Each structure stands twice: as structure tokens, then as C-alpha cells.
Structure 1
Amino acid sequence: MKKRQARYVRHALGMIMAAASPLPLMAQTVPASAPSTTAPADEEPILPDDEFNARLPGAGSVDDKASNSGTDSKAPLPSIDDWLDQQMPAQGSAQGSAPASGTAPATGAELPPATEPPVETELAQPLPALDSVTVPENVADDDSDEKTPEVRYATQLDGFGKTGLEDEFRAASALVDGKGKAETASMVQQRAQADEQLAVRLFHSEGYYDATALASLDQQQDGTLKAILSVTPGKRYKINEIVIHAPETIPPGLIRDSLTLKTGDYIVATAVEAAEANVALKLPEHGYAFARIGDRDILLDPATVTGDYTLPVEPGPRGTFRTITTSGEKQAFGADHMAVIARFDKGDLYDSRKVDDLRKALVATGLFASVAVDPVQTGEPGPDGTEYVDLHVDQEAGPARRLAGELGYGTGQGFRAEGSWTHRNLFPPEGALIASVIAGTQEQGVSGTFRRSNAGKRDKTFQAGAGVNHQKYDAYEAFTLGLNASWSRQSTPIFQKRWTYTYGGEILLSNENTTIDESGENKRLTYFIGALPVQVGYDRSNDLLNPTSGFRANLRVSPEASLQGNVSPYVRASFDLAGYYPISDSFVLAARTKIGTINGVARDDVAPSRRIYAGGGGSVRGYGYQELGPKDANNDPIGGRSVNEFAVEGRYRFGNYGVVAFVDAGQVYESQIPQFSDIRYGVGLGGRFYTNFGPFRADIAMPINRQPGESKFALYIGIGQAF
């Protein structure tokens, strides 16, 4: 109990000494309590005042002071705890033990027992779960009427002079991009500082290595700011000496010849980078598959305003092609077929252009989701002191199945929809199966086709198919069963080839309703026809589906014979020529001509479906499908043995849209040679919507000097340009 009392006393003294201390314990002012108006309650003191005062040092009698006079006044005072332990009675005094020597026994009443502080029940409660606490959301007042004041400024550029860099600077300037508005003046200053750095970088990149730039802000009388950027270009540095650190190459001087820099050229960053990129391009084209271009060094001389250019190059070993390897979790085909597609053989000098060509050809197959072709250094010697280089193809096969559709409309031809399902690799490598359906108002049919691309040779395609078809036009009605096989070399959107060809054979069994002569008498006949068609094309246009320049030529010759009864051989031939001339970036003038003939047989001995017709989309617009040429007594076309066609079209494009105006002309003749007389004309307008795979086309045309029974106008809808 007395130890507890001593602790309370220590606490009280600590408070007293803290109050008496000349140094503040905390930088905080305690507010004064209001004066009490209530008399303090009578409480029993812990120690009587007399005893408490008697125990204070130096508070005793004169004799006591004298007896303590020998004490060293400079000796350190005992601690409060030690002093209290000396003054308080020992713990055993409660059991009647004598008081400690030198201390007087307590004469006051027994001290009251110490009590624990009261427990606050609210503080004793457990804290609530964190997710149960709801924090009030402080939402700022949304005062739409109150707007932050806007800082307006003007931009002034000085010092650009005749450098020709002001337009380029303005295109990237932060000040110019801000359009004279900012939220704060500090933001304008930041833009000005950014433009300082931009100007210096720009001038350095053009050879002005002494250029400096300084931006400043001036307050105008109207309260706006003027941001002034002053540039001092300095002199423009030129190349003095060109040094290349590299071993000798084959052919000699390959690196220097590929580096398109000359002494006296200005040190322009884009020109230097382009020259180095050309070196990195040319070395792999001449056998150096693993060439490396080092870091350039340009040593500037302010005295002569020139710079010495140094470029280290490591060409690496000169290599030749060896083998192709491939890997991939899901492969379209193996390395043996890739060797068929490649345009190089083992031992050929390595050429990166042939590697790129192989990669493009693999992409053109449409069988890969991803494909990469990389050279592999083998370290094994090859012919003529070279080193063998392997090619590794990392492949991942893509979806092999594809659905496609086509929809069109033409006057006289009606609506025509064609759909197809293709498995492009059902018979690897590149063996495709195609099933097609035609559904139209005038034509219906089904067919199946097997096609093998890159069949034994790059770009060579073998195709065989069978089909059943029904056609019902004003000129004839035919039910046809056909078999065909062909070899071809055709263009694709990725590889538009200059020369294309197709040759093969077909056999047709056709039951047709035909007009015997102009009298209009009809008769149904069955024709058994064999043909050996050959087609050769030459293409110098710049695009397969939307050409804007160049020309195309196409020749088709098909020796044929009617095999039933007496064999009647004949030859069907046609020649097409189309040209495209860009008047401007948005306007193209296009023209087309065609002549065709059937030689060796009378018209009526040719199956109606094999005769020559004209009119409609892709022929002479303004007329119905097959509407031109000789007609029977019912005014239905009966076809002919020769044709000529002409067309001129102006194409104007704006964005993804376009309009066209055109004049078409043509006629069909019964004679073997086109007469170029009685030409029929059609004029019209059209619209185009351009997409990534070609334009959608809609044309409307009307005939000139329309004859009885001919259409007043004709509408054509399809994909791609008319020619």
C-alpha cells in the first residue's frame, strides 16, 4: 500500500517539478481553468502538512541545518525515487517493526486504499468490422457556372529565317498545339520550355549543331501573354571525312557504295540514318546474313564547321543457302513443301530478298495464323569460301475452313448470289476442297472443285472440278453438266503477277433451247462439247481490284468442237485491253476495249451458250444482259460470231467514297470479223464505297437511241471496278 502511495507522490512531484522547470516541456499552451466557486471538500491528506514540510530538504531546524552544513553543496542531488524511498517507512512497519533510523514515525491517520481507475464501457467494446464502417462521401459543389479563368497567349517565332524548319517546328510545337489557350501562366511557361528543347533538337538534326533557343513570356497591355521563342541557328555543319572500319567485302567497296553519304553533304540526321539503313539492307542482299552496324561517331570541328564521320561495320561471314527447317505446335505443312515454294536452291548465295519472298509466299497461302522466317548461322563451310546458312520457319497454322459469298444484280441477269465453303488444306500440302452454290433469278447451280496450289512448282496451281448448272436468259435456256481441269498461274492480292496464264480442258454436256433462225422457231438440242482453252494475261496496273495507273492486256483462245454427230471444230478468241491514267490524286481516267470472234463454223452450229453476246455490267452498260446483237422475231437476242466493245470512265474519289461517269459502246455481229458499224452507246453514273479489299460498285445507265424492247435504264451492283 505504501509503495502505491509512494508512486502517487512521485507522480505529484513530477508534476510540481515540471511546473517549476524553467524550460517548457511542450510547445503547447494549456488553457486556464475557470475559477471554482465551490469550496473544496475536506479530504484526508496523504501526509500531514507538518510532516511533509519537515521531510523537505533544508526545511528542518537550525540545528539540523548546522549538522548538514558539512555537506558538499556541489554534490549532485539524489533522484526523486531514492529520496522518496528514504523518506517513506519500510514495508515491514505495518507489522509493528521499528521505523527506519533517522526518520520520524508517521503520526497521521492510516492512508486510504488506492483504487483502480474506472473502466469506460464504451472503450472496452470490440471495434466494428472494417467493411461495416461507412465513410461519408465528400462531394465538391458542382457549380457549372463557375469556370476557371483561361489564360490566352500569342506565339511568336524568331530566328528561323531561311532554314525552312519553321513549318516542321510548328507541326510539333506545344505552344502552337495549345492554340493560344491555357489554364495557367505556368502551363504556358512549361510549353515554352518544351519548345526550347524541341527547337534545339530540330536544328541539331539538320546540322545546326551550334543552335540555341530561348523562350520568354511578355505581359501585354490587354492582359494576354506573348510567348516568344528566339532561335539562333548558327552555321550548318557539313561532312568532311568518311571513315568505315570494316574488313574487305565481296564485291570490294560494297559497304562504301551502299553508304549514300558524300563529303560536303550537310550532316542531316535522317540522311545519315537512311544511309546506315541502306548498308544494313544491302549487306544481307549480297550474302552477309549476320551483318551488324556499329555506333557511328561524328567529330565536330567548330573552326571549319565540319564533322568527321566514322562507322564501324561487322559484315560477318559470307553465306550460302542450305536447308529449311520448321517448328510449331500446329503446322500447316512441312519444310519439304517450303523448299518447293522457295525461289533458291542449296548452294545459292544468301539473299535477304529471297528470304522475304519466301515469307510473303507462305503468308499468301492463307494457311498460317503466324509465320516467321529467320537465318541460322551454322559455322559449316560452304562453296567458294562461304558458310552455310539455314532458314528456320516458325509457324502456327490458322483456320483452314472458310465461308465466302458474293451478291450482285444486273438488268437482264437479275439477282445472283454465290456462296462457297472451302477447306484450304484438306489434302496437305495446300490441297483445297471447294463446294459452291449459285442461287439467282436467272441462274442456279452447284459445283465441287479440287485445287492444289504450288503444285510441284512455285505459283503453279492445278484445279479439277465438276458442276451442274441451269441458265435461263432471253437468249437461251440451258441445262449443263461440265467437267474441267486446268493448270494456271494467277495473281493474288499479295502477289500481283505481271504475267499470268491458264491452260486446260473441259467437257460439256448441255441441253439447250435454241432459236434456229430469225424466224423465231425454237428447238431443244443436246450438245456435247470439248474445249482446250488457253489464256494469257499481262498486267502492269498498280492494283488488282482498284487500279489507278498502268494497263492490262488479256488474250483468250479456245479451240472447241461439237462432238455429237459430225465433228465441227471452231475457235473462240477474244482480246481485252484496259488502261488507267491518274489525272490527279483523286481523279483517274480509265478506258477499255475488246474484240472477239468465232472462226470455222456457222453461227447456228454453235451451242447458244457458247456464242458471243454483249450488254450488261462488264460489257456495255445501259443495256440488259446479252441484249445487243442480232435478234429473232420475238426480239430475243440470238448471239453472234464477233463483237467489239469500248468504254471510257472518269473516277473521282473523296475519302472512302467515289463517283464515276462513263460512256460505253459496243455491238455484236453475225460475221466472223467485227464490222465496227451500228455501234450502240450507253451513258451513266455510278457510286463507289471503298474498302480494304476493293470498292463496292453501283452503276445506273441508260441507252442512247433506245430501240423497241430495250431497257429504259439498267442497274448494276457488284464488287470491284467495272474494269
Structure 2
Amino acid sequence: MTKLLFKATITAVSTVLGLVLPAAALEIGSFNVSTTDKDLREALMQASLTVAAADDAETTPRGALAAANADYARLVRTLYALGYYSGVVTIKLDGREAASIPTFNLPAQINQATVSVDPGPLFSLGVAQIAPLAPGDSPPEDFRAGRPARSTVLQETVDSGVKGWREAGHAKVALSEQSVTANHSQNTLSVRLGLTPGPRVTFGRLVQTNDSAVRSAKIARIAGFPEGTVFSPEELETVAKRLRRTGAFSSVSLTEAETLRPGDVMDVNLALVDEKPRRFGFGAEISSFEGVTLSSYWMHRNLFGGAERLRIDGEISGIGSQTGGIDYSLAGRLNSPAFFGTDNDGFVYGSISDEEEENYDLQQVRIGGGASRIFSDHLQAEAALELRYVNTFDDFYGERDFFFLNLPVSATLDHRDDVLNPTTGYYIKAEAMPFVRLDDSDVGLRFFADGRIFRSVGEAKKLVFAGRLQIGSTLGPDLADLPPDFLFYSGGGGTVRGQPYQSLGVDLGGGTLSGGKSFVGVSGEVRASITDSIGIVGFVDAGMISADTLFAEAGDWHAGAGVGLRYNTGIGPIRLDVAAPVGGDTGDGVQFYVGIGQSF
């Protein structure tokens, strides 16, 4: 009696434990591909949901079986994509063919999967024909007799043929014939494709299909829809880009009408989803010498119902700075898209600021207005007319007042792959500002250019080389007749890290440092990604300040170098740089910099 009771107790405990212990995760026993082609094997493993389920530690029989059953088609499609049309795929779960396991009578547990693929011979193209093609168009190079018969090449050929006709204005081109024959005795695939171009189409009306908080008339003006011109996919994409870049819409969808109107005219339907009108944000940067900088902005994307964008920026800097006091600034800008016609925006702006630097105090008020032009996805320019009042004080010149009429003009060419974390491409911004002093007779020109270039190594872009060149000069009045913000200093974040902020200028004597009339800054960085989130940086910066116009006389140089750490947040890296002087006599010790985004 005692033995029976003991046995029953053990059985009960085992049953309970079986209910609470986690099921074993699916494992891949083997993944065999009858080939020496490593790329083929890798492609099959990448496509396999069974492998993915094992990597994700799948524990349910239903999940394991679903992955295996889906793999039959996925692996065959992968074989077709690479030119194998007589392959055999076998997938077993705990020794049973997955396709034979009924979904209504699953085993209690599936522990191991084995995958076996016999790709068979590689097929080549026998007959390879597509017709007719648009004038001047030709099929892809890989769509030739004797080339591997990859299904991806067939799709690329169709897409290329359709694209050619659409670019020629035939919006309704269609694939009307498709003959694909496999010859397994000769391992060839014969392909005959036929296209029906249809008529040459003209753009009709842009039809807005839903309501928006932005006025319909303004939407049409922003879009610049080319009604009455020959159909062009590029023009259609340009219309969508114009609407998206206003920031007023979270979604822009253009749909071609299914049928043509008389005269081969095609309307296009426009569906919009409004973006939330208001947005705010903030930022912070920390420097061991310059202190803390706090910034914030508030923005309205559709102020008057015409997609007008009002943005107000505020900044407090120099908190805890080792030199100078706390600086304040407040700025606002109102931008109206398509104010002077499509791609030509109008804007007005104003700002006030109060700066307490080590070498000077400055209060400033600016108001202005102008226009900007977007020439392409990469090139834009703007020009404005501006009034600027400046009150400044320093120990050498005392208190001075300036009243300027300025004509700031700028152009930006941006070919970076990412604004906050670029790895390839280049960026150039040039600014020129002719100015007239209204309370005097001085006239002059201030010029500044910033060029950056980025090169990555390898497809993964784990190693990036970045370079920067800054050049600025002010022509016209003498130093004594220019306010500090028309001049140039070097040192600190943005110019030479490792050197104290604005530590290089023109020595006026008596311990007073003025800005120079010319500046050259050079920076180089090597950025290496350690993981997807963490990267390290090595950098060198150098800067030159001259008391005269650029290249008129040699100036003084200083330099800094250091290392940095980057943590990628998904919206841009958090930056920590540590630097020290390596040239010049403007500073010593170590400087720290913390911010968001790469240094340039």
C-alpha cells in the first residue's frame, strides 16, 4: 500500500511539472543544400521562415508547422529567383514531412527541423524576347540568351519595358503576352514577353478626393499640377514632393484614373491626410568651457489655411560658462509655400538677441523678408532684404551702434544620405551678404561658405571618413567699423574643438580680442561603428583668423584633436567629444562637448 501511494505521488508531481515547465524551443538539426555555391545556400537560409522561427526560439507546434509549410513556396521562389527551376525541397519536423502533418492534429511538441534542398541544374535563357519597347529603350543586359534565367531578371525586364513606355507618355502600357517555357532536358528557359503601349496620354485635372484644412486653391498652387501636358511619372512624383515638403500633410497619395477621357486625357486623384498643425521640440548641448545651451521651438504648420508655417525658436546659452555671461535669443519665421508661384516660397522673419561674451557685449534686432526657390531635391536658394540694429560694447572701442540694410543671399547643395548622421555624399552652403550702413556711409560684403564631404568603406558603411572646410571673409569697412557678428572668431564647438570658445581672434592690445575679417576652418573625422548603436570617432580641427580680407595677409592658426563616442538613437546620434589643443597658444586642458547629431 505504501509503495502504490509513493508511485502515485511521483506521477502527480511529474504531471504538474510538465504543465509549468516551458516547452523546448525549435532547433535546426540541419540545413542541407546540394551545392558548393555559398551564395545560394546563404540566400535560401535568409529566405527560410523555419530558420527564422528557430532563431526566435519558437516553442509552439503551430508556429513551427506554419513556418515550415510556408517555406516550401518561399524556398522554391528563391530558387526561381536565382535561376533554378527543377529543385526539390524537403522539410521535416521531428522526422515527419511537414506537408503531411495535419494542422487539426498537431503533436504536443516539435523540437527539431531539418531542411534539405536539391536545387538541380542552373537554367539559362534560351529565347529572350520583349517587344515592343519604347524608342531608344533596350532590355537589361542580363536578359540575353545564354545568361542565367533568374526570375528576378524577368521581372526587371517587364518593369523596365513598362517604365520606358510610361516615361514616353504612355500611362496605360500593359503586359499583354507572357510565354515562359522550361526545357528540362536542355536546362533552358524560353521567354517571350509582349507589351501593349496604349495611347500617348495627356494630363487632365487634379481631383482632390477628400477635405483638408488647407484651402483647395492653395493646394493646387503648391502642387503645380501640369494639366494639359504629356503624361510623365517624374512630373507626378514632383507634384507629390511639393505637397509633402510643406509639412502640412502626413500622407499624400496620387492615383491615376483607371479610364481615359476623350482625347486620351487622364485625370489624377489626390488624397491627403492633414498633419497635426502644432509641434514643439527642444535640444541641449554641453561644453566644459562654453557651458550649457538649451533650445526649444514651437511650430504651426497651417497658420492661415494656406500651409503657412510659423516657427518660433528660443535659446539660452552660456549657462555655467567659464567666460562671458548668459546669452538669450528669440527668433520667428513665417513661411508661405508657393507665395510667388510653384516652388517659390515667401517668408518674413525677425529676431532679438542679447549676448555677453568674454570680449564684447552685443544686443541685436533683425527684421526681414524675402523669397526662396527650390530648384531640385538637392538644390535650393533664398534671398532677403533685412534691417539690422546692433548695439555693442567692448573695452577697446567702448559702446557703438550700427544700423544696417542687408541683402542676405544663400544657396545650399545637399547630397548627403542622412542629415543627422551622414555616411556618403557632400554638402555645400554659400552665403553672401552685401550691406549698407544707414547711419554712416560704409558699404561692404560678408561671405561665408561651408563644405562637407563624406565617404564610407564597404556596403555596411561601418567606417566613414568625413571632411569639412569653412571659409569666411568680410570686405569693406575696417575692424573698428564692424560689429562683432560681422567678424570671425575660432575655437570651440563648430570650429576648433579642444580650444576655448572664441579664443582666436585679432589682438587689439590691452587684453582685448576682436574678431577677424577672415576665417578658415578645416576638420577631419574618422567614424567607426562598433555596434548598431555605438560608434567611436577620432578627429582633428584647425582654424585661422586674419585681421585683413581673405588671403591679403597670413593669419594666426590653432588646432585641436580628440576622440568621441556616438550613441545612435534612431533619430540621430547623441554625441560626446573630448578634445585638447594640439597647436597654437590659445588654450590648454581638456574640453568636453555633448550634443545631438554628428558634429558636422
- How far apart are the structure 2 equivalents of 1:176 and 1:437? 52
- 1:468 correspondence with 2:349: no
- How far apart are the structure 1 equivalents of 2:327 and 2:232? 51
SS of structure 2 residue aligned to 1:679: strand
Relative distance call for 1:258 and 1:328 in structure 2 (3 A) is farther
Report how far residue 680 of structure 1 moved.
0.9
Relative distance call for 1:313 and 1:603 in structure 2 (3 A) is same
- How far apart are the structure 1 equivalents of 2:408 and 2:27? 76
Moved more, 546-555 or 468-477: 546-555
**1:280-330 superposed Cα distances (whole Å, 9 cap, x missing partner):** 433332222233335733223345443332335443332011321212133
**Aligned residue in 2 for 1:168:** 43
- How far apart are the structure 1 equivalents of 2:515 and 2:26? 79
SS of structure 2 residue aligned to 1:142: helix
Relative distance call for 1:149 and 1:549 in structure 2 (3 A) is closer
**Aligned residue in 2 for 1:376:** 257
**1:509-533 superposed Cα distances (whole Å, 9 cap, x missing partner):** 22211343xxxxx511221122212
- 1:546 correspondence with 2:421: yes
- How far apart are the structure 2 equivalents of 1:561 and 1:206? 68
Relative distance call for 1:336 and 1:375 in structure 2 (3 A) is farther
Verify the 8 A CA contact 1:651 1:658 in the aligned structure 2. Answer: yes
Instruction: Report the number of matched residues.
Output: 559
**1:169-212 superposed Cα distances (whole Å, 9 cap, x missing partner):** 34455786759x99999x99999998787766654554443444
**Aligned residue in 2 for 1:511:** 391
Identity across the alignment (%): 24
- 1:689 correspondence with 2:567: yes
**Aligned residue in 1 for 2:314:** 437
SS of structure 1 residue aligned to 2:513: coil
In proportion to residue count, which structure has more strand? 2
- How far apart are the structure 2 equivalents of 1:323 and 1:191? 48
- 1:402 correspondence with 2:283: no
SS of structure 2 residue aligned to 1:637: strand
Verify the 8 A CA contact 1:410 1:624 in the aligned structure 2. Answer: no
**Aligned residue in 2 for 1:527:** 402
- 1:698 correspondence with 2:580: no
Pairing of 1:448-597 with structure 2 (within 5 A): 448-489=332-373, 496-497=377-378, 499-516=379-396, 523-564=398-439, 566-584=440-458, 585-597=461-473
Report how far residue 720 of structure 1 moved.
2.4
Pick one of 252, 258, 271 that aligns with 2:153: 271
Moved more, 534-543 or 422-431: 534-543
Relative distance call for 1:719 and 1:235 in structure 2 (3 A) is closer
Pick one of 512, 523, 530 that aligns with 1:647: 523
Compute the TM-score of the two structures, normalised by the length of structure 1.
0.68
- How far apart are the structure 1 equivalents of 2:90 and 2:383? 73
Verify the 8 A CA contact 1:155 1:175 in the aligned structure 2. Answer: no
Verify the 8 A CA contact 1:411 1:623 in the aligned structure 2. Answer: no
SS of structure 1 residue aligned to 2:146: coil
Relative distance call for 1:616 and 1:374 in structure 2 (3 A) is same
Verify the 8 A CA contact 1:410 1:625 in the aligned structure 2. Answer: no
Report how far residue 535 of structure 1 moved.
2.0
Verify the 8 A CA contact 1:156 1:226 in the aligned structure 2. Answer: no
Q: Residue type matched to 2:399 in 1?
A: R
- 1:415 correspondence with 2:289: no
Relative distance call for 1:632 and 1:369 in structure 2 (3 A) is same
Relative distance call for 1:646 and 1:393 in structure 2 (3 A) is same
- 1:365 correspondence with 2:246: yes
Relative distance call for 1:216 and 1:721 in structure 2 (3 A) is closer
- How far apart are the structure 1 equivalents of 2:178 and 2:149? 12
RMSD, matched Cα = 4.0
- How far apart are the structure 1 equivalents of 2:515 and 2:73? 76
Q: Residue type matched to 2:237 in 1?
A: D
Relative distance call for 1:281 and 1:446 in structure 2 (3 A) is same
Relative distance call for 1:609 and 1:322 in structure 2 (3 A) is same
Relative distance call for 1:240 and 1:484 in structure 2 (3 A) is same
- How far apart are the structure 2 equivalents of 1:503 and 1:151? 64
- 1:424 correspondence with 2:301: yes
Report how far residue 401 of structure 1 moved.
1.5
- How far apart are the structure 2 equivalents of 1:152 and 1:657? 31
Relative distance call for 1:210 and 1:482 in structure 2 (3 A) is closer
- How far apart are the structure 2 equivalents of 1:193 and 1:432? 53
Report how far residue 472 of structure 1 moved.
0.9
Q: Residue type matched to 1:432 in 2?
A: R
Relative distance call for 1:142 and 1:429 in structure 2 (3 A) is same
**Aligned residue in 2 for 1:320:** 202
Relative distance call for 1:692 and 1:163 in structure 2 (3 A) is closer
Q: Residue type matched to 1:588 in 2?
A: V
SS of structure 2 residue aligned to 1:262: coil
SS of structure 1 residue aligned to 2:339: coil
Q: Residue type matched to 2:281 in 1?
A: A
**1:224-255 superposed Cα distances (whole Å, 9 cap, x missing partner):** x99987766554433333455x7x67x4586x
Relative distance call for 1:582 and 1:405 in structure 2 (3 A) is same
Pick one of 159, 164, 180 that aligns with 1:282: 164
Q: Residue type matched to 2:291 in 1?
A: G
**Aligned residue in 1 for 2:228:** 347
**Aligned residue in 1 for 2:533:** 656
**Aligned residue in 2 for 1:332:** 214
Verify the 8 A CA contact 1:665 1:682 in the aligned structure 2. Answer: yes
Pairing of 1:42-121 with structure 2 (within 5 A): none
- 1:239 correspondence with 2:122: no
Pairing of 1:138-157 with structure 2 (within 5 A): 141-142=16-17, 154-155=29-30, 157=32
Report how far residue 659 of structure 1 moved.
1.7
Q: Residue type matched to 2:383 in 1?
A: Y
- How far apart are the structure 1 equivalents of 2:271 and 2:123? 47
SS of structure 1 residue aligned to 2:506: coil
Higher relative contact order (CA 8 A, sep 6+): 2
Question: Over alpha carbons, which structure has the higher Rg?
Answer: 1
Verify the 8 A CA contact 2:124 2:188 in the aligned structure 1. Answer: yes
Pick one of 647, 659, 680 that aligns with 2:558: 680
**Aligned residue in 1 for 2:103:** none
Verify the 8 A CA contact 1:192 1:229 in the aligned structure 2. Answer: no
Q: Residue type matched to 1:415 in 2?
A: V
Report how far residue 618 of structure 1 moved.
0.8
Relative distance call for 1:640 and 1:235 in structure 2 (3 A) is closer
Q: Residue type matched to 2:253 in 1?
A: A
- 1:389 correspondence with 2:266: yes
Compute the TM-score of the two structures, normalised by the length of structure 2.
0.80
**Aligned residue in 1 for 2:106:** none
Report how far residue 604 of structure 1 moved.
0.9
- How far apart are the structure 1 equivalents of 2:341 and 2:177? 44
Report how far residue 373 of structure 1 moved.
0.7
Report how far residue 372 of structure 1 moved.
1.2
Pick one of 602, 607, 619 that aligns with 2:478: 602
Q: Residue type matched to 1:283 in 2?
A: W
**Aligned residue in 2 for 1:671:** 548
